[in-house]
Amino acid sequence: MHVQTLHLLIDAVTLLNNRGLLERVEKMSQYTELKAQIAKLQEQAEEARRAEMEAVLADIRRKIVEYGFTAQDLGLVGRPARPAPKWIAGKNRERFLISQAHS
């Protein structure tokens, strides 16, 4: 490396350091690295969740059979009807019906 080039590099690093730019570049690098780590951890967590789902589901099925739970016990049937949307409440619903075209 030429001496002149080396001096230019030293001057550039000194300038960056004096202005705090070098520190900001390092922090940005840390931020980018942390984002990459987060993405990798999220991917690993999703893989672990998928791997454990079958075992959890098998355990739930076993307990349902063991304790004799019914769909009603689990809240899967017998739910109350949903109320009408507020925008239609008190209005003549027939005017909202779609007529059947006869061919």
* Domain of residue 55, residue span: 1-68
Is 92 domain-assigned? no
Is 36 domain-assigned? yes
Is 42 domain-assigned? yes
Evaluate whether 81 touches 89 at the Cβ level (below 8 Å).
no
Domain count, the chain: 1
Is 63 domain-assigned? yes
Is 40 domain-assigned? yes
- Given a cut of 90, whether residue 18 has pLDDT beyond it is no
The pLDDT tens digits of the residues spanning 76-98 come to 887 666 667 778 778 887 887 88
Reported confidence tier of residue 40, pLDDT bands at 50, 70, 90? very high
Is 58 domain-assigned? yes
Q: What is the mean pLDDT of the chain?
A: 81
- Tell me the H-state helices in 1-103: 3-18, 21-67
Is 8 domain-assigned? yes
